[in-house]
Structure 1
Amino acid sequence: MKIRATGALAFAALTGAFTAPQANAEPGLAAEVESPIVVAGATELSLRGGELTGGEAAHDWQWRAEAGYAYVSWWRPGVAATWQGDGGDNALSGLGFENIFDFIPSRRWPVHFGAYAEYERNMSEGPDHIELKLLMQRQRGPLDLRFNIVSERETGDHSDNRWEFGYAAQGSYRVSPTLRLGVQGFGDTGFDDQLGDIDDYAHCWGPFAQVRLASVREQALSLQLGYLASSGYADADGQFRLGLEWSFGEDDDD
């Protein structure tokens, strides 16, 4: 995704007011189950965050702001900023450049495929990060099914050269023109040299609701609320999630 300069400045001013905590070990929080759909000319601004509940990491937070513009129908570049912290310490932790690639021939297949790639600059001590995802989506009427295979690794000095794997999944149903209900899940599955029992890693699953707050011409403002319960090797009992998205030039109801 990429945005025009004036839009970027306004969005940065808006999101700069939000700094919040997070626990590093928990999947989900500010993460998104990505769609491979790219619409040429569409602009998206979003803010997503989550708060952990119960356990050792209770009240930790994470917020992520993203902005982007699709110049063509197969590629949407963008920028992202992440804030995180715990125990009352809040900090800008990363600035990223992300890309979504729409595998256009697969639009005619039963499952629509795409790819996601991001390079994130670590704004605190430590190495930078690379994240890659294989995106899959199946849409049939009001039903929307998505699944992402996630891989990431550190890069730079003193980095861990192993790849870490995980997943993000979502199933939702449009019950009205302005309301979508569904289930989301995020989880870790281990490193490339240490893939083991699924219970050895954290998994977070639960319901969510997405409401379209306003829609004027080709602009739409949507709010998503959800709660995920944790299982496996998790530091918290669960997490509350919130997302706000403002899109321009998209014909999809989401």
Structure 2
Amino acid sequence: MKTLCWLCLASAPALADPGYYLVTPYGEPGLRAVDLRYWTVKKPGEKARLWPELGLRYGVNNRWTTGLFASYIGDTWGTQKLSSLNWQNLLLLTQGQYAVDLGVHAQLIHERGEGNVLELGPVLQTEWGRSQMNFNLIFEHDWASDRGTQLKYQGQWLYRLRPGLRLGVQGFGELGRWNRWSERQSHRAGPSLRLGLGEADLQLSYLWGQTYGRRGDMFSAQLLWRF
């Protein structure tokens, strides 16, 4: 995905950006929603890098949800530039008949001036009492580079404090090539808060850790507004 040359040495190859939004298996036939996303990466002593995203999501049926997104990047709001156009799809394979729900995440990303990237992988979710647990493995292939197929993971635990309010932990990481993990891996984790606001859902997270072997704290906000 978007290049993060500021995270690597000048002589190092370009690196994909860290995956950040956790994918969950859901099925809402007829769903129409605006999906607003915002996240940052901040190195110690430096300004944060900003990634606002705007998308539309639609539930085609009870097993297939699709969405189109425009992703921007910049050091300030005044310097934002279009970074990529994304077509995201979630296909449900199970719907409550087993202890763990299973879906498939597929996303085609057109990076402006760089080429196309495909993300593909299983998404898992289970619930135990008031707890919701998620774990995803995502394979990423960039046709415009020689990095091969990269492997990323996502994880989450949320506890329902009361209706419309959940608190928990998220974790993300990039391991390098799926069959030869990198020495400069990324691992980040931190608290996450999810609020149900009528027709809208808001999730806020702050993660500490490393991005490709170097310190990089991250903040994200995602607002899904149904209409």
- TM-score, normalised to structure 2's length? 0.84
Provide the C-alpha distance between the structure 2 equivalents of 1:236 and 1:57, rounded to a whole number of angstroms: 11
Residues 58 and 236 of structure 1 are in contact (CA less than 8 Å); yes or no, is this contact kept in structure 2? no
2:191 to 193, 207, 211: 207
* TM-aligned CA distance change 1:134 to 1:56, over 3 Å: farther
Match of 1:115 in 2: 104
1:172 to 158, 161, 164: 158
Residues 25 and 235 of structure 1 are in contact (CA less than 8 Å); yes or no, is this contact kept in structure 2? no
* TM-aligned CA distance change 1:238 to 1:161, over 3 Å: closer
Match of 1:103 in 2: 93
Of stretches 52-61 and 41-50 in structure 1, the one that deviates more from structure 2 is 52-61
Of stretches 174-183 and 228-237 in structure 1, the one that deviates more from structure 2 is 228-237
Residues 18 and 211 of structure 2 are in contact (CA less than 8 Å); yes or no, is this contact kept in structure 1? no
- Higher relative helix content: 1
Unaligned residue ranges in structure 1 (runs of 5+): 1-21, 249-254
Residues 150 and 176 of structure 2 are in contact (CA less than 8 Å); yes or no, is this contact kept in structure 1? yes
Q: Is 1:49 equivalent to 2:38 in the alignment?
A: yes
SS at match of 1:108: coil
Provide the C-alpha distance between the structure 2 equivalents of 1:176 and 1:236, rounded to a whole number of angstroms: 35
* TM-aligned CA distance change 1:61 to 1:111, over 3 Å: same
Unaligned residue ranges in structure 2 (runs of 5+): 1-5, 8-14
Q: CA deviation at 1:56?
A: 7.2
Provide the C-alpha distance between the structure 1 equivalents of 2:74 and 2:179, rounded to a whole number of angstroms: 29
Over the aligned positions, Cα root-mean-square deviation in angstroms equals 2.4
Q: Is 1:150 equivalent to 2:153 in the alignment?
A: no
Residues 174 and 212 of structure 2 are in contact (CA less than 8 Å); yes or no, is this contact kept in structure 1? no
Provide the C-alpha distance between the structure 1 equivalents of 2:216 and 2:66, rounded to a whole number of angstroms: 35
Q: CA deviation at 1:95?
A: 0.8
How big is each residue's C-alpha offset from its partner over 1:105-132, in whole Å with a ceiling of 9 and x where there is no partner? x521111100011111122x21211111
Match of 1:27 in 2: 18
Match of 2:121 in 1: 133
Match of 1:228 in 2: 207
Q: CA deviation at 1:25?
A: 5.4
How big is each residue's C-alpha offset from its partner over 1:160-186, in whole Å with a ceiling of 9 and x where there is no partner? 361000101111011011211010011
Q: CA deviation at 1:206?
A: 0.1
1:90 to 76, 80, 87: 80
Residues 139 and 178 of structure 2 are in contact (CA less than 8 Å); yes or no, is this contact kept in structure 1? no
Q: Is 1:73 equivalent to 2:62 in the alignment?
A: yes
Match of 2:168 in 1: 182
Percent identity (aligned): 28
Amino acid in the other structure paired with 1:40: P
Provide the C-alpha distance between the structure 2 equivalents of 1:127 and 1:149, rounded to a whole number of angstroms: 23
Q: CA deviation at 1:68?
A: 1.5
Residues 103 and 113 of structure 1 are in contact (CA less than 8 Å); yes or no, is this contact kept in structure 2? yes
* TM-aligned CA distance change 1:122 to 1:56, over 3 Å: farther
Amino acid in the other structure paired with 2:161: V
Amino acid in the other structure paired with 2:221: L
Amino acid in the other structure paired with 1:203: H
- Higher relative strand content: 2
SS at match of 1:159: coil
Provide the C-alpha distance between the structure 2 equivalents of 1:91 and 1:103, rounded to a whole number of angstroms: 37
Q: CA deviation at 1:86?
A: 4.0
How big is each residue's C-alpha offset from its partner over 1:189-226, in whole Å with a ceiling of 9 and x where there is no partner? 111353255xx31111000111223x1xxxx1122222
SS at match of 2:154: strand
